């Protein structure tokens, strides 16, 4: 393979995209303070010395065609805007304390060798990735750091959240894609700054602000799209009043799974904390406490109900709120908070973003952490705060079993999925007798006869049925007792390190064929052919299976390809090279799979 170096224009090299380190800036300021001699003024001025950050990033970012006028999000000389309105409390706190975040970012004690290693990884990722959207997003982030006079590394969630907020203040669109592209660059250097002084403090700043903000903007966008569609068809009508949902409400969002029964723990002023009573740090602490008890991708379950029960056992004792299964199929599904159903959008609590994405791998159910959201938009209910033994009402049999509640009586399910309880006792009211159409009688005479029978009928006493029902209710024990935590299956099944394929006796013969296929995708992928065969991709069936493989299994397979590709005595530079190729292969698999 031949490598082609990117030729960087001299004018582009002089552009300072990234702010220099404080030490370099101080040295330049000291030199500028010295008065030059007249002879020195006549000599040509040498260009300023650029640090390694500018050298490496300009080669990648400015070596491509110049963007169209007005394309750049952050333009040098223009102020950074912080004018967008948001209801995400975590983002509000970050924007309010942004100067403290920038100061901590500048004070992080990053070793020069460690910083250069991080820059090399980012450079290798951008070159091997080849996606202009990633480079554009990374350039916007660098210009944002320049405008805020802070360092771009390490790339923490707080810095990414502030960058996205400032970008949205200029153009409130493209939130999810911008976050996705920056997160890909962040993943290329993930783990490099662990243990560095001040890094852990930065990681603790607004850990859920970025995800919650993207969720909010997408939700607003979809609401606006629906409103515009309705306005185009129907005339404007007065907005409906916001309704408070009492404890005994049985409303339910249409289209959810049949297990998504309303557990009766809806919002009311007496049982649920107001949203403004809890700060962002308190909301994060509750979410973190629940996350420690939730199953991870390393825990597998024989059935979806087993996994669902573990989630119920983790969420209910902390929040006093249950969860439900949503959009579940034979191979995937989701588990959501009961605060995410439609009627919560019009209440002070709002729509809860919590969702666990679950998938089935080799007959076992696991959590896909890469597509799950762990934050909640609310705090615990007043019921659980006042009494740790308090439990919400729930009709789901799995959830009731986990919480220690008795089994509900026999029931029937209607067409829309709601459960209606059916009593086995006879009805005390007799059914209306049908008209007896005898010979020579008319419909009018039959109706008149029915009226006379009703008028002359004696008044019935209170049926014994109702007395039995009320006495049975009074004798029932109090609802629920505090339950023991749900236990993981023993032993816990660990997700395999990589997907296994049928390995033929002579798999080396497939390498030339695989090289031809990879060359069609991208010429840089050809060296990965032996590693793919070593990882088990040794036939057309195995290659086709990569396109339909779940994300967790695909990630494990690509990790095995990387391990086979890197030489035993390879250097860090070799690792960066192969990491870039594996990342490019992952993108191509997703791209080809969508066709």
pLDDT at residue 565, rounded to an integer: 83
pLDDT at residue 47, rounded to an integer: 39
Residue 360's DSSP bridge partners are 365
H or E element at residue 103: helix 98-107
CB atoms within 10 A of CB 332: 16
pLDDT at residue 331, rounded to an integer: 83
Phi, then psi, of 359 in degrees rounded to 5: -140, 160
H or E element at residue 420: strand 419-421
% of residues, the chain, pLDDT over 70: 58
Question: In this structure, are residues 244 and 379 in contact, taking their beta carbons and an 8 Å threshold?
Answer: no
Question: In this structure, are residues 383 and 296 in contact, taking their beta carbons and an 8 Å threshold?
Answer: no
| Cα dihedral 461→463→464→467 (10° resolution) | -100
Q: In terms of Cα–Cα distance, which of 160, 156, 151 is closest to 204?
A: 156
pLDDT at residue 84, rounded to an integer: 92
Mean pLDDT (the chain, rounded): 69
Domain ranges of the chain: 10-35+47-216, 275-403, 508-593
Segments in 256-396 forming alpha helices (H): 280-293, 304-319, 382-386
What is the full DSSP assignment across 521-543?
H-GGGGGGHHHHHHTT--SHHHH
- Residues near 71 by beta carbon (within 8 Å), at least 6 away in sequence: none
CB atoms within 10 A of CB 431: 6
CB atoms within 10 A of CB 421: 10
Q: CA end-to-end span of the chain, whole Å?
A: 28
Global pTM? 0.37
Tens of pLDDT, residue by residue over 6-56, are 444 433 333 334 444 555 455 445 544 544 444 434 444 333 333 344 444
Q: In terms of Cα–Cα distance, which of 94, 196, 210 is closest to 153?
A: 196
* Ranges of residues in the chain whose predicted pLDDT is under 50: 1-20, 24, 27-28, 31-32, 34-56, 58-60, 63-71, 236-276, 412-418, 421-427, 435-439, 459-505
pLDDT at residue 430, rounded to an integer: 52
Residue 473's DSSP bridge partners are none
pLDDT at residue 560, rounded to an integer: 85
Phi, then psi, of 304 in degrees rounded to 5: -65, -30
pLDDT at residue 420, rounded to an integer: 52
Tens of pLDDT, residue by residue over 560-587, are 888 888 775 556 666 777 888 888 888 8
């Amino acid at each position: 393979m031949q490598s082609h170096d990117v030729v960087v224009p001299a004018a582009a090299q002089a552009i300072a995209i990234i702010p220099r380190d404080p030490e370099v800036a101080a040295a330049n300021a000291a030199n500028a303070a010295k008065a030059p001699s007249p002879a020195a003024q006549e000599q040509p001025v040498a260009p300023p010395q650029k640090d390694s950050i500018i050298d490496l990033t300009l080669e990648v970012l400015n070596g491509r065609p110049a963007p169209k006028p007005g394309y750049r999000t952050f333009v040098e000389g223009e102020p950074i805007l912080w004018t967008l309105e948001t209801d995400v409390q975590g983002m509000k706190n970050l924007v309010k304390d942004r100067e403290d975040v920038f100061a901590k970012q500048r004070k992080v004690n990053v070793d020069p060798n460690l910083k250069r290693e991080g820059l090399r990884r980012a450079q290798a990722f951008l070159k091997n990735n080849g996606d202009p959207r990633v480079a554009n997003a990374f350039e916007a982030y660098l210009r944002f750091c320049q405008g805020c006079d802070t360092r771009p590394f390490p790339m923490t969630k707080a810095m990414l959240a502030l960058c996205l907020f400032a970008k949205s203040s200029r153009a409130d669109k493209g939130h999810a894609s911008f976050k996705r592209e920056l997160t890909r660059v962040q993943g290329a250097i993930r783990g490099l700054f662990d243990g560095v002084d001040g890094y852990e403090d930065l990681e603790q700043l607004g850990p859920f602000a970025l995800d919650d903000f993207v969720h909010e903007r997408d939700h607003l966008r979809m609401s606006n799209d629906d409103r515009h569609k309705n306005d185009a068809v129907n005339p404007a009508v007065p907005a409906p009043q916001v309704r408070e949902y009492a404890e005994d409400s049985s409303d339910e969002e249409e289209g959810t799974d049949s297990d998504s029964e309303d557990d009766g723990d809806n919002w009311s002023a007496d049982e649920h904390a107001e949203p403004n009573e809890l700060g962002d740090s308190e909301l994060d602490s509750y979410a973190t406490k629940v996350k420690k008890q939730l199953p991870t991708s390393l825990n597998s379950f024989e059935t979806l109900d087993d996994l669902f029960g573990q989630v119920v056992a983790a969420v209910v004792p902390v929040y006093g709120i249950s969860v439900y299964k949503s959009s579940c199929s034979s191979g995937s599904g989701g588990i959501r908070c009961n605060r995410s159903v439609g009627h919560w959008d019009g209440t002070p609590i709002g729509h809860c973003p919590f969702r666990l994405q679950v998938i089935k791998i080799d007959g076992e159910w696991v959590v896909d952490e890469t597509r799950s959201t762990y934050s909640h938009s609310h705090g615990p209910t007043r019921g659980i705060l006042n009494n740790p033994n308090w439990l919400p009402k729930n009709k789901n049999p799995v959830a009731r079993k986990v919480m220690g509640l008795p089994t509900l009586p026999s029931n029937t399910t209607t067409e829309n999925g709601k459960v209606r309880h059916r009593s086995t006792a006879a009805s005390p009211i007799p059914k209306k007798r049908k008209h007896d159409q005898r010979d020579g009688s008319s419909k009018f005479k039959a109706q008149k006869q029915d009226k006379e029978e009703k008028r002359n009928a004696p008044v019935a006493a209170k049926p014994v049925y109702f007395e039995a029902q009320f006495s049975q209710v009074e004798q029932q024990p109090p609802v629920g007792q505090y339950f023991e935590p749900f236990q993981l299956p023993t032993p816990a099944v660990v997700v395999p390190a990589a997907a296994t394929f049928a390995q033929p006796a002579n798999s080396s013969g497939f390498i030339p064929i695989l090289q031809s296929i990879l060359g069609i995708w991208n010429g840089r992928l050809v060296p990965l052919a032996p590693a793919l065969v070593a990882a088990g991709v040794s036939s057309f069936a195995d290659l086709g299976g990569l396109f339909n493989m779940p994300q967790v299994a695909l990630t494990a397979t690509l990790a095995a390809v990387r391990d086979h590709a890197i030489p035993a005595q390879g250097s860090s530079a070799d690792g960066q090279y192969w990491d870039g190729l594996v990342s490019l292969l992952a993108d191509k698999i997703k791209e080809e799979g969508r066709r």
